[in-house]
Amino acid sequence: MTKQLQQSLKILQMNTFELKEFIDTQILENPFINFPEGAGLGTKENFEEHRYESVQTKENDGNFREDYISRIVDNQITLKQHLIDQIFITIHDNKEKLIAVRFTDSLDDNGYLIENILEIAKALKCETAEAEAVLNKLYKLDPIGAYAQNLQECLSLQLKEKGIYDEVFANILANLEGIAKGEINKLIKMFKITLEEFKIRMASIKKLDPKPGRNFFTHITQTLIPDAFIFFDTYANLVVKLNNEHLPSINLNSNLYKETLENLKTKDEIIFCKHRFHDAMFIARALEQRANTIFQVTSAIAEEQYEFFEKGINYLKPMTLADIAKKTNLHESTISRISNKTIATVIGTFEIKYFFTSKIKSNFAENIYSSSAIKNKIKELIEEEQANEVLADDKISAILQSRGIDISRRTVTKYREAMNIPSSHQRKRLKAAAS
């Protein structure tokens, strides 16, 4: 692999901040590179915007506004990235990941939710129960207390994690305002506890962190800026745009190159000058290629996932790197290198990698199932099983195969365990104990 190809791949993988630092260094080292007067990369016009028309054109609607970009708020990187890293490890269902990222996107600097469950479920067009189930998983992430909607919930999450939360703690947390006003005697009578016990419990509460996200903002110097946007215009067309305002770019100082070349006398000086200008040209081409790759991949995702953006998370289609590679004529490894780039959408801001999920083939050519859809089917079968007929994993595999879903017993086991569902032997014992 040549040095230039290695550099091109590095540029492709860099996030916005890394790329800006790289360009700053190149400008200092190479006199033939400078910043453009205007922001943005000078890519061709056809790479800057693409629209996907709806089959049925909708009437003008306030929800489909081209000024969506103005609603995008910069996200603090450290706390949110810390949580997203955990989400990627602990949550395996792609649909749940997207819901989790949407919740994370709604956190303030202290780790509190800005939007409530109903608002987030509405934005994602999913059931409130689905959003709530994901939120319960997020409560277990570090720092404990993040994703709370208020101080009382934040502290209760930390007490639950310690295993000491009970009715007395619940009463104390529900009356923090009265405690702050000095109504101690009145409250301990209400709680039916002694003053000594009250002091012990308050000491435990004072050890908790009322702002679990604050420690992640001590050294913040960066904000997460989307690389591209996907939004609906006033005619319900899905529009893809690069974030040209923040897309790092350079200009080549051709005039300085010509002047310098004319004044050089030795062969070595001329060769060195030409090499530096060729380096500058290569970097400019690499930046344009990076922008075009991000645009191509984002456009392919928008086209493939139109119903997801229009109707909500239940319409997320199973999609792999190979699907987008085929649609864009790009190599899978190239797409993988930009999978950490972010897209601000009508539903939330997501990294490209969150749109890729595994597939299960159907015996019927027209059907392909996502892993999340298969998990739901496994869960439904287990919920419907009778006490005297508990389904083993091989039986579940056989049932699904009879319905045209090509899935092995091993995959059923993997998905069942990912959903924290006990084995058939454990379920049988539990049902027997309950009867």
- The residue behind tokens 């469950």 is 117
Dig out the tokens for 314 from the structure.
């239940």
HSE value, Cβ hemisphere, 13 Å, CA-based, for 435: 9
- Please tell me the pTM assigned to this model: 0.57
Asked, as a colleague might, if the bond just before 143 is cis with ω within 30 of 0, I would say yes
Q: Residue 388 class from Cβ within 10 Å (0-12 exposed, 13-18 middle, 19+ buried)?
A: exposed
The whole-angstrom separation of Cα 135 and Cα 130 is 9
Phi (first) and psi of residue 260, to 5 degrees: -65, -45
On whether the CB atoms of residues 324 and 335 are closer than 8 A, the answer is: yes
- Tens digits of residue pLDDT in 80-102: 878 887 887 788 777 888 899 88
On whether the CB atoms of residues 210 and 151 are closer than 8 A, the answer is: yes
The whole-angstrom separation of Cα 10 and Cα 343 is 20
pLDDT value of residue 53:
44
The whole-angstrom separation of Cα 364 and Cα 313 is 24
pLDDT value of residue 132:
92
**Amino acid identity, residue 265?**
K
Enumerate residues 6+ apart whose C-beta is below 8 A from 98.
124, 313, 316, 347, 348, 350, 354
In the chain, which stretches have pLDDT less than 70?
Answer: 1, 37-78, 217-224, 358-370, 372, 433-435
Selection from 63, 134, 142 nearest residue 103 by Cα? 134
pLDDT value of residue 403:
78
Query: Vertex 357, ends 326 and 230: CA angle to 5°?
Result: 70
pLDDT value of residue 361:
52
Cα distances (Å, whole numbers) of residue 218 to 79, 86, 109, 143, 353: 11, 21, 11, 15, 29
- The residue behind tokens 């081209």 is 66
CATH numbers and ranges of domains, the chain: 3-46+225-354 (no CATH), 75-148+215-224 (1.10.10.1330), 151-211 (no CATH), 359-434 (1.10.10.60)
HSE value, Cβ hemisphere, 13 Å, CA-based, for 259: 6
3-state secondary structure the chain: CCHHHHHHHHHHHCCHHHHHHHHHHHHHHCCCEECCCCCCCCCCHHHCEEEECCCCCCCCCCCCCHHHHHHCCCEEHHHHHHHHHHHHHHCCCHHHHHHHHHHHHCECCCCCECCCHHHHHHHHCCCHHHHHHHHHHHCCCCCEEEECCCHHHHHHHHHHHHCCCCHHHHHHHHCHHHHHCCCHHHHHHHHCCCHHHHHHHHHHHHCCCCCCCHHHHCCCCCEECCCEEEEECCCCCEEEEECHHHCCCCEECHHHHHHHHHHCCCHHHHHHHHHHHHHHHHHHHHHHHHHHHHHHHHHHHHHHCHHHHHHCHHHCCCCCHHHHHHHHCCCHHHHHHCCCCEEEECCCEEEHHHHCCCEEEECCCCCEEEHHHHHHHHHHHHHHCECCECCCHHHHHHHHHHCCECCCHHHHHHHHHHCCCCCHHHHHHHHHHHC
Cα distances (Å, whole numbers) of residue 19 to 7, 34, 40: 12, 14, 13
What mean pLDDT is reported for the chain? 80
The DSSP bridge partners found for residue 120 are none
On whether the CB atoms of residues 317 and 304 are closer than 8 A, the answer is: yes
